[in-house]
Amino acid sequence: MRFIFVMDPVERVIVDEDTTYALMREAEARGHRVEHALHTDLFVEAGVLHAYVRKAHCTDRRERPIELGERERVEVEAVDAVFVRKDPPFDDGYLWLTLLLEHVRGKTLLLNDPQGLRNANEKLYAMRFPEVTPRTLVSADKAEILRFLREVGGKAVIKPIDGHGGEGVMKLEEGHMNQNAIVEALTRHGTRHAMVQAFIPEVSLGDKRILLLDGEPLGAILRVPQKGDLRSNIHVGGRVEKTTLDEHDRRIVAAVADTLRREGLIFVGLDVIGGKLTEVNVTSPTGIQQMTRLDGVNYPGRVIDWVEAKLAGRA
């Protein structure tokens, strides 16, 4: 089979961390043709989507995990699947990428579905399931935010709607001298929305990442914040631990699975803190390598199995 991975430049790949790398490596090991493209390598002419791709070879070498071949021009509908794995932020370039991919809808398997990606802001998406999320407000208004802070007991977390990797996530405490300045910074003086969420004290025990494949749990890891930080993200020093799904997690998965499936959001990362859903990661969810090491299970193999079965008309 032939797969295109639309992703960031290969120089950014971290050999023992990146989920995209693990998927490419598994696909290549099974004899599939794996190709790399940047979002800017896609183009449409007369309604036909093309891409400049380069054949990718996974080397496992830290300095150069992926070697790329010569640039080739392909019609995307001739390819079996496109893995959309560009990292956030979801900016203009991301939006246009999803619109270009519409040209191969129904012709090529798209992971994740471009329309699903457009509809699903990673932070706002979770708010569709208030029965499993912490109390959350999205507002650009300082008075509203401070009112909410008081109502949830004086402790909250404020985050940028388009943030990722823990960037800009801060704790708000009623009566704290920085409270006004933090709200002003995050809302850029009332000109941008921010998300404010009741503070979940169990965050010190970790933020669980549950990877879902077509609405079913693939596996999970726990990310524990380092001392003196609220944020559990691996990129800001969060430590990774083995974990399993509990009854809260199963309830969350049951609440979101049908919606995700309906929207073509096949490979998704849920973030769960203290049994509450805080984020639904759809653009390029990660964690599969850590999960594979901790559980001794070939999770990338399960993802590629699913893709193969889907293309063979079995999934």
Ligand X SMILES: Nc1ncnc2c1ncn2[C@@H]1O[C@H](COP(=O)(O)OP(=O)(O)O)[C@@H](O)[C@H]1O
Q: Which is nearer to ligand X, 7 or 156 (CB)?
A: 156
* 77 counts as catalytic: no
- Is residue 122 close enough to count as binding Mg ion by CB under 5 A? no
- Which spans in 130-191 are helix H? 142-151, 179-187
Gyration radius (Cα) of the chain, Å: 20
Minimum CB–partner distance for residue 246 and ligand X (Å) = 18
Q: How far is the CB of 136 from ligand X (least distance, A)?
A: 8
CA distances in angstroms from 210 to 25, 250, 260, listed in the order given: 22, 10, 14
Q: Which amino acid is at 157?
A: V
Instruction: Please identify which residue in 44, 142, 163, 248 interacts with ligand X, judged by CB under 6 A.
Output: 163
Shortest Å, Cβ 237 to ligand X? 11
- Residue 85 or 159 with smaller CB distance to ligand X: 159
Q: Treating both helix axes as pointing N-terminal to C-terminal, what angle do 142-151 and 179-187 enclose, rounded to 10 degrees?
A: 130
> Residue 273: in which H helix or E strand, if any?
strand 267-273
- Listed in sequence order, the residues at least 6 apart from 232 whose beta carbon sits closer than 8 Å to its beta carbon are 166, 203, 206, 207, 223, 224, 225, 238
Nearer to ligand X among residue 54 and residue 209 (C-beta): 209
- Per-residue contact flags (x/-) with ligand X for residues 195 to 234, judged by CB under 6 A: --x-xx--x---x-----------------x----xxxx-
Q: Which is nearer to Mg ion, 18 or 271 (CB)?
A: 271
- Catalytic-residue membership of 33: no
Residue type, 260: L
Should residue 271 be labelled a site residue for Mg ion when binding is judged by CB under 5 A? yes
CB 42 within 8 A of CB 117: no
**Residue 127 binds to ligand X (criterion: CB under 6 A):** no
3-state secondary structure of 16: coil
Catalytic residue, from 85, 208, 231, 276: name it: 231
Residue 64 annotated in active site: no
Q: How many CA atoms lie within 13 A of 123 on its CB side?
A: 23
- Annotation marks residue 151 as catalytic: no
Whether 279 is catalytic: yes
Clarify whether 250 is annotated catalytic. no
Residues 242 to 281 in contact with ligand X, rule: CB under 6 A: 271, 273, 278-279
Six-digit token string for 254 = 């049951």
Residue 249: active-site member: no
Tokens for 144?
């509203």
Does residue 281 have an active-site annotation? yes
Binding-site member from 25, 36, 50, 164 for ligand X (CB under 6 A): 164
Buried b or exposed e, range 221-238, using 16+ CB within 10 angstroms: bbbbbeeeeebbbbebbb
Q: Give me the residues that bind ligand X (CB under 6 A), please.
A: 134, 157, 159, 163-167, 169, 197, 199-200, 203, 207, 225, 230-233, 271, 273, 278-279
Q: Give me the residues that bind Mg ion (CB under 5 A), please.
A: 271, 279
Residues taking part in catalysis: 123, 159, 209, 223, 231, 271, 279, 281
